[in-house]
Amino acid sequence: MIDVKIQVYSNKGESVGKVDFPRLEIPERRDLIQKLYRSVTLSGRQPYGTKVGAGMRSVGHNSGPNHGTARIPRSNGGRRGVILANMVGGKSAHAPVINKRLHVGINKKEGALARKSAIAMTFNVADVIGRGHTITEDIKLPLVVKDDIQDLSRSSEARELLVKLGLEGDLDRAKNGKKVRAGRGKMRGRRYKRKKSVLIVGTDSRKLAPFKSLPGVETATIDTLGIRKLAPGGKPGRLTVYTETALNQVLEVLK
């Protein structure tokens, strides 16, 4: 059933026509979106563990009973305890092991519904604004552009297009939202945190390269349109721009 017609824009930001947009009856399942995001994030952890035999490579002796000391293994010629975990100098108790199961599963139907719900929420202005994106309420979503935006070769042209679509405020929000991370993470290769801005969904990620250098902007195709891009942090309502072909592919997924 066709309910509305939505504008299609050229790579210059000019309206060049309208396309039919069907009614979507997909429930907003924020609980499943959060569950899928948790599953994907935790399942991507790097396995880690202590070296086999760590803390057990010392030779320990005890003098036996009737010496006035506890019968615990001690270093040769000294009083320092070794091997046991209940003393300074001993092994680590319950140390992490490399074969721990880090994968966190989710039911296939729940995961599919969560992805569909996250996609559907990118079409809702209230959800997009509720996530924190800076757009005006008169913007009609979804934002659809012709496939020839993939022919843009410069980041300045990509930014100009997004500005003409009315997304300048959100680009500036991401640019000015760069913050130093709190805690030890800033010593471990993730010093800065930056806000997420527009997600560009096309058919060829290589041809969307000019958009990638804009602060907070990400690109995706129908094959890489995962929950971490649709709902960063498990919060749905990502501000998204679709190419005409990509939108048709997305609507096929939602059927």
- What is the helix (H) or strand (E) element at residue 14, kind and residue range? none
Find the mean pLDDT for residues 66-83: 87
Q: Does domain 2-21+123-254 have CATH number 3.90.550.10?
A: no
Would you say residue 51 has pLDDT above 70?
yes
Q: Which residues pair with 242 in a beta bridge?
A: 144, 201
What one-character-per-residue DSSP string does 82-98 give? -B-TTSTTBPPTT---T
pLDDT tens digits along 210-244 = 999 999 999 999 999 999 999 999 999 999 999 99
pTM of the predicted model over 0.75:
yes
Local confidence band at 2 (pLDDT 50, 70, 90 cut-offs): low
Max CA pair span of the chain: 97
Would you say residue 204 has pLDDT above 90?
yes
CA 47 distance to own-chain centroid: 19
Residue 236 exposed, middle or buried by CB count within 10 Å (0-12, 13-18, 19+): buried
pLDDT in the model for residue 64: 87
Would you say residue 115 has pLDDT above 50?
yes
Structure tokens at 27: 């429930």
Find the mean pLDDT for residues 144-151: 94
